[in-house]
Amino acid sequence: MNEKTRVEDIDRSVYDIRDEEHDAYRMEAGLTPEIIDKLSKEKNDPVWMQQFRLQSLQIYNEMKTPDWGPSLEGLDMEHIATYVRPNSKMQNDWKNVPQDIKDTFERLGIPQAERKSLAGVGAQYDSELVYHNVRREVAEQGVVYTDMESAMKGEYSDMVRKYFMKLVTPRDHKFAALHGAVWSGGSFVYVPKGVQVSIPLQSYFRLNAKGAGQFEHTLIIVDEGASLHFIEGCSAPKYNVANLHAGCVELYVKKGAKLRYSTIENWSKNMYNLNTKRALVEEDGVIEWVSGSFGSHVGCLYPMSVLKGDNSKMEFTGVTFAGAGQNLDTGAKVVHIGRNTSSYMNTRSISKSGGISTFRSSVVVQKGAKHAKSSVSCQSLMLDSESRSDTVPAMDIRTKDAAVGHEAKIGSISNEAVFYLMSRGMSEEDARALIVSGFADNVSKELPLEYAVEMNNLIRLEMKGSIG
């Protein structure tokens, strides 16, 4: 049996397996006040959320599509169903999840990962969570980990209303407004003061429906002196029509707290991934981003950190792999407000088979951010002459008392390195795959073991066919 070597022949393993659609309810495509009102009633929203959705829709209609970055010409909201409810209510016992949905997540390894190394898991299928659970010992620490709808309607309703879309507002950009109008699903996390969550929490988002959108909202509050590692995983099968992901992540890191937010994005190559993520960091707080972007037809991902408090810190570590038919526009933004703040961005981008990878960095140092330090390092690897890689740095420094640096390198795989590995018995394909995996090592080593393995497998899969 001959091994497939052409990119167009690649089977993305378990990720591209399509399940038959057995939706309990699917909203008609399009965006109108009537559709938003119907969605709100479907979800039994409180009055304030009903009003918030309609206001967000109005803002969406008033705002223009961004005129920079990758083209969004192929995305038509008139053909996107904004809400698809699966044939299951949320369960806290895996045995009660419907078998077809359970089979999907079993293939993706979610229950296995939970049993081995996770403190809690939320699994979303299309527009709703189908499973949510947290270990007893973590819950006994006072950690709250639940779905957004339950948090919004239950005993944490006041906290949700206080923080929901206050950090990312509907007026930030057109797709933030869209999110405010049609959001559904997602997770709410609260870590009490001083609590150290020693093992990660995870949410996994699976979009199975064809021609649909997914708009989950994640709200995490890590209180004073507490710490948490949160992992986000995403995937979808490939269709011949556009799908959309426009989630929103709001992270509040209080005084002396620490939060690591890790993401592996493995969307299918018909997906428009327009996610918005933002963190607000108080005095002595730390936010760490670890990001792997591998899927989607078009991606626009720029996690933002606001270093409000004195001595607050941000680190961003990311890798992007753009293959055939992909235009991945990624990066990070940091705003220094407090004194003695520091930020560090370290990224790797890889492009092949005509893929386009763009890294954008934005560093803003406000007038009062004395002794701020910021360093940006971006390295790009192009695997052929058809591909493209760009870096677009932006710096807005409003005080003389700051140290800011930027470094960018763009290159290709060394023929000498390939020859050396081949002289040691490796095939050319394996040699190139090893070099690329080493190039991305700074991200994989930051992930828990099973996710690092997944990322390296994805890179190896993409490398099949890289030599023609």
The string of pLDDT tens digits covering residues 249-305 is 999 999 999 999 998 887 778 889 999 999 999 999 999 999 888 778 999 999 999
Task: Label residue 363 exposed, middle or buried (CB < 10 Å: 0-12, 13-18, 19+).
Answer: buried
Let me know whether 295 and 426 are in one domain. Answer: no
**What average pLDDT is seen over the chain?**
84
In a domain, 55, yes or no: yes
- Report the range of poorest mean pLDDT among 185-194, 317-326, 366-375: 317-326
In a domain, 28, yes or no: yes
Let me know whether 205 and 71 are in one domain. Answer: yes
- Both tokens of 462, joined, read 């993409």
Let me know whether 297 and 429 are in one domain. Answer: no
Kindly tell me if the per-residue pLDDT of 418 is higher than 90: no
- Report the range of poorest mean pLDDT among 8-22, 86-100, 160-174, 196-210: 8-22
Let me know whether 296 and 169 are in one domain. Answer: yes
In a domain, 93, yes or no: yes
Is 83 within 8 Å of 214 (Cβ atoms)?
Answer: no
pLDDT at 4: 35
| Domain interval for residue 463 | 416-468
- Both tokens of 241, joined, read 């029509």
Query: End of a domain among 301, 336, 359?
Result: 301
Let me know whether 286 and 433 are in one domain. Answer: no
pLDDT for 66-76, tens place per residue?
888 899 989 99
pLDDT at 240: 64
In a domain, 283, yes or no: yes
Query: End of a domain among 269, 301, 333?
Result: 301
- Percentage of the chain beyond pLDDT 90 is 50
In a domain, 339, yes or no: no
In a domain, 117, yes or no: yes
Alpha-carbon span 441 to 47, nearest angstrom: 48
Work out how many domains the chain is built from and give that number. Answer: 2
Closest among 317, 260, 306 to 283, alpha carbons compared: 306
Separation of CA 427 from chain center: 34
Query: End of a domain among 301, 330, 361?
Result: 301
Q: Which residues have a Cβ under 8 Å from the Cβ of 186 and sit 6 or more positions away?
A: 124, 129, 147, 148, 203, 216, 217, 218, 219, 247, 248
pLDDT at 6: 32
In a domain, 337, yes or no: no
The angle, 0 to 180 degrees and rounded to 10, between the axes of the packed helices 110-117 and 99-107 is: 60
In a domain, 379, yes or no: no
- What stretches of 33-119 adopt beta strand conformation (E)? 84-85
